[in-house]
């Protein structure tokens, strides 16, 4: 090594070779980065199936966690979530442990990768919230036949992903940010993302902005995908449409992603460990390599990132020595030959220019428990969820009798979100899980000067509990004079 090379400051990155084809695509990626002169020092760490087998429920070793925390950067191959043993997904462990809230998925037509959409000019980024929503994994069986999953969305969670989307738009010199939600149905959760988008958006007048309902977004993605530039969306929506969008340009096998947080950035291929081809030297390293290119841009190594990207584009465009997944049957080569071909193309420019990238600058968030105190707060009632096999009418009448000499009145009973008492004439199929809404005859101001409605609630719940099995209670509050709850379908 000469003195000039010696002087290059290298960035240390934790490498997780993972499972299945993971070590093969990691080796290829490292070889290409080394050949291109990427200023990276690797620190190898272990996560995935082998770690689960050792009895570690997280699937990630302590050493790997410490290495990622120290370096703040990781390149990760696919990790298997073993079925039948082990705990939760190691991928989810990593995302949650390091609060990697922004999942960035570029979707761009690649030269030589022919799809029914080739030539449409697809070039977008999907920015998916990565830690909230139903993925918080808070699930409870309410009765033996009714399961519940809490969909938690927060104002700071929405704000930081929306700001991240604008940061991506700025870093990639894009023109439009589209917020995709299901706000028409889930007015409080998905609606929050839309409202925050409308509040934060005006700070970024340089970008066109619009909102689209997520199902129409899925539809538009296949009707006119070229209309999208940056799409920001919640976790579950993003999970689905980012896979859909990847399908437009050649599938998950070639799609990269970045998981960004305030302190750690983790880059990975979108595909899994492909156990069917593992160990055979057949895997295509394009997705992990593209993730590594994103990582190089994250550390502002723009020149070498472009050098590798251009070599990848030209290799794919010329179609020589491609892996089996990108070749006509029987014409594919192995990972090593593809890697060699790509390395031989380093320094050449393709017909598809790289975008003009800058570093994505995320907003730094204070390390405080996020809290917004409303001006006024009132308790207006409670929802009591109970289990019974009674019909709606006798149940409603029994609950009205129970509420009679309490500070509450029964407002209604609903079943899976549809009012069934007082009857509406609807034809609701009933399950043994009823939401019984009791409203206070006189709402109570929650200002810390009274018992905050505690005695009133306890009295009612005690009376209900004497006759029925209840599972949980929700307080019905009003913040700043506005109801902080939704009404069931059919309620007048
Ligand atoms: P998969 O591993 O993505 O594989 C599906 C198929 O896609 C493979 O059988 C292979 O098709 C093709 N493929 C995927 N990547 C390829 C590559 N780089 N080169 C060539 N072909 C590729 O999906 P899966 O079978 O559903 O999942 C397997 C395991 O991976 C599971 O344990 C799952 O939990 C895990 N997983 C991990 C992640 C992650 O770590 N982020 C993501 C998804 C899944 P052919 O068989 O036709 O060759």
Are residues 393 and 306 both part of a single domain?
no
pLDDT tier at 330, thresholds 50, 70, 90:
confident
Chain Cα centroid distance, residue 89 = 14
Claim to verify: residue 394 and residue 301 sit in the same structural domain: no
Q: Given this model, what pLDDT does residue 5 score?
A: 52
414 assigned to some structural domain: yes
- Please indicate, yes or no, if residue 49 is contained in any of the structural domains: yes
Asked whether the CA dihedral 450, 452, 454, 456 is positive or negative, the reply is positive
Q: Say if residue 383 is in the same domain as residue 305.
A: no
Query: Cα angle at 406 between 404 and 412, to 5 degrees?
Result: 60
The 10s digit of each residue's pLDDT in 287-320 is 999 999 999 999 999 999 999 999 999 999 999 9
Domain presence at residue 394 = yes
Residue 286 CA, ligand 1 centroid: distance in Å: 13
CA of 372 to the centre of ligand 1 (A): 43
One domain, residues 312 and 383: no
Q: Is the CB of 81 under 6 A from ligand 1?
A: yes
State which ligand 1 atom lies nearest to the alpha carbon of 82.
Answer: 32
Residue 1 has a pLDDT of 47
Structure confidence at residue 370 (pLDDT): 81
Compute, in angstroms, the gap from residue 364 CA to the centroid of ligand 1: 34
The percent of residues above 90 in pLDDT, for the chain, comes to: 85
Mean model confidence pLDDT for the chain: 94
Q: Which atom of ligand 1 is nearest to the CA of 284?
A: 19
Any idea what the CATH number is for the domain that residue 401 is in? 3.30.70.1570
Q: Is 271's C-beta closer than 6 angstroms to any atom of ligand 1?
A: yes
The model's pTM is 0.93
Separation CA 108–CA 230 (nearest Å): 12
Q: Are residue 334 and residue 385 in the same domain, yes or no?
A: no
Indicate whether 354 belongs to any domain.
no
d(CA 75, CA 73): 7
- Which atom of ligand 1 is nearest to 286's Cα? 18
Query: Does ligand 1 have an atom closer than 6 angstroms to the CB of 268?
Result: yes
The domain that holds 59 is classified in CATH as 3.40.718.10
Say yes or no: 433 and 477 in one domain.
Answer: yes
Both 55 and 101 in one domain: the answer is yes
Confidence check: pLDDT of 3 > 60 = no
Any ligand 1 atom below 6 A from CB of 77: no
CA angle 186, 188, 193 (to 5 degrees): 90
Contact 79, 47 (CB under 8 A): yes
Write the CA distances from 422 to 12, 272, 486, integer angstroms: 65, 51, 18
Q: Which residues pair with 347 in a beta bridge?
A: none
Same domain, 406 and 257: no
Query: Over pLDDT 70: what percentage of the chain?
Result: 97
Residue 42 structural domain: 11-115+249-344
Any idea what the Cα angle at residue 58 is, between residues 94 and 84, rounded to 5°? 125
Q: Is residue 275 within 8 Å of residue 84, measured between CB atoms?
A: no
Instruction: Please give the distance, rounded to the nearest whole angstrom, from the Cα atom of residue 352 to the centre of ligand 1.
Output: 28
What is the position in ligand 1's atom list of the atom closest to the CA of 90?
A: 40
Instruction: Please give the Cα distance from 31 to 281 (Å, whole number).
Output: 15
Mutating to test ligand 1, I would choose from 274, 275, 276, 290 the residue with most ligand atoms within 8 A of its C-beta, which is: 274
What is the sign of the dihedral through the CA atoms of 49, 51, 52 and 58?
negative
* Residue 349 located in a structural domain: no
Number of domains in the chain: 2
In a domain? residue 468: yes
Q: 249 falls in which pLDDT band (50, 70, 90)? A: very high
Nearest CA, atom 33, ligand 1: 80
Q: For ligand 1, atom 16, name the residue with the nearest CA.
A: 253
pLDDT at 87: 65
401-405: long-range contacts, CB 8 A cutoff, minimum separation 24: 402/460, 402/463, 402/464, 402/467, 403/438, 403/460, 403/463
Query: What is the Cα 143 distance to its own chain's centre?
Result: 29
Give domain status of residue 219, yes or no.
Answer: no
Output the pLDDT for position 473. Answer: 97
Which of 49, 95, 272 is the pocket-test mutation for ligand 1 (most atoms within 8 Å of CB)?
A: 272
Same domain, 426 and 382: yes
Residues 143-154: tens digit of each pLDDT: 999 999 999 999
| Co-location of 22 and 110 in the same domain | yes
Residues with active-site annotation: 135, 182, 215, 239
Among 119, 97, 5, residue whose Cα is nearest residue 47: 97
Pair (330, 383) in one structural domain: no
Co-location of 397 and 315 in the same domain: no
250 CA from centroid of ligand 1 (Å): 14
- In degrees and rounded to multiples of 5, residue 330 shows phi and psi of 85, -5
Interval 188-202: pLDDT, tens: 999 999 999 999 999
**276 CA to middle of ligand 1, Å?**
8
> Is 404 within the bounds of a domain?
yes
217, pLDDT greater than 80: yes
Residue 276 Cβ inside 6 Å of ligand 1? The answer reads: yes
Q: What atom of ligand 1 comes closest to residue 83's alpha carbon?
A: 32
């Amino acid at each position: 090594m000469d003195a000039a090379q010696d002087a290059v400051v290298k960035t240390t990155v934790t490498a997780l070779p993972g499972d299945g084809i993971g070590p093969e695509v990691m080796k290829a990626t490292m070889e290409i980065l080394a050949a291109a002169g990427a200023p990276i020092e690797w620190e190898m760490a272990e996560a995935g199936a082998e770690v689960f087998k050792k009895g570690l429920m997280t699937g990630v070793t302590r050493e790997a966690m410490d290495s990622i925390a120290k370096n703040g950067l990781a390149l990760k191959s696919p990790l298997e979530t073993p079925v039948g043993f082990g705990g939760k997904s190691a991928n989810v462990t990593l995302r949650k442990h390091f609060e990697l809230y922004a999942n960035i998925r570029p979707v761009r037509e690649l030269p030589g990768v022919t799809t029914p959409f080739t030539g449409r000019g697809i070039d977008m980024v999907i920015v998916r919230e990565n830690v909230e929503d139903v993925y918080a994994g808070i699930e409870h069986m309410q009765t033996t036949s009714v399961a519940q999953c809490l969909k938690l969305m927060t104002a700071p969670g929405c704000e930081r992903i929306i700001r991240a989307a604008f940061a991506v738009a700025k870093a990639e010199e894009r023109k439009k940010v589209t917020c995709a939600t299901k706000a028409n149905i889930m007015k409080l959760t998905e609606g929050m993302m839309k409202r925050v988008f409308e509040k934060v958006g005006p700070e970024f007048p340089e970008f066109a902005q619009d909102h689209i309902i997520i199902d129409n977004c899925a539809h538009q993605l296949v009707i006119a995908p070229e209309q999208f530039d940056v799409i920001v969306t919640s976790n579950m929506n993003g999970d689905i449409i980012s896979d859909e969008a990847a399908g437009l340009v050649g599938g998950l096998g070639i799609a990269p992603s970045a998981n960004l947080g305030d302190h750690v950035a983790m880059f990975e291929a979108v595909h899994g460990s492909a156990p069917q081809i593992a160990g055979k030297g057949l895997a295509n390293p394009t997705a992990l390599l593209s993730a590594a290119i994103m990582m190089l841009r994250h550390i502002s190594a723009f020149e070498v990132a472009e050098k590798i990207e251009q070599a990848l584009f030209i290799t794919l465009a010329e179609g020589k020595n491609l892996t089996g997944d990108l070749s006509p049957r029987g014409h594919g080569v192995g990972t090593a030959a593809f890697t060699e071909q790509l390395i031989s193309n380093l320094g050449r420019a393709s017909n598809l220019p790289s975008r003009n990238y800058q570093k994505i600058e995320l907003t730094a968030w204070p390390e405080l428990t996020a809290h917004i105190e409303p001006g006024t707060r009132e308790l207006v009632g409670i929802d009591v969820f109970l289990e019974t096999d009674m019909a709606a009418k006798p149940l409603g009448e029994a609950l009205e009798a129970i509420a009679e000499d309490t500070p509450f009145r029964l407002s209604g009973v609903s079943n899976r979100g549809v009012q069934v008492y007082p009857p509406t004439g609807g034809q609701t199929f009933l399950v043994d899980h009823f939401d019984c809404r009791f409203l206070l005859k006189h709402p109570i101001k929650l200002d810390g000067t009274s018992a905050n409605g505690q005695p009133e609630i306890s009295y009612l719940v005690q009376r209900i509990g004497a006759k029925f099995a209840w599972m949980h209670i929700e307080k019905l509050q009003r913040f700043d004079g506005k109801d902080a709850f939704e009404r069931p379908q059919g309620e007048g």
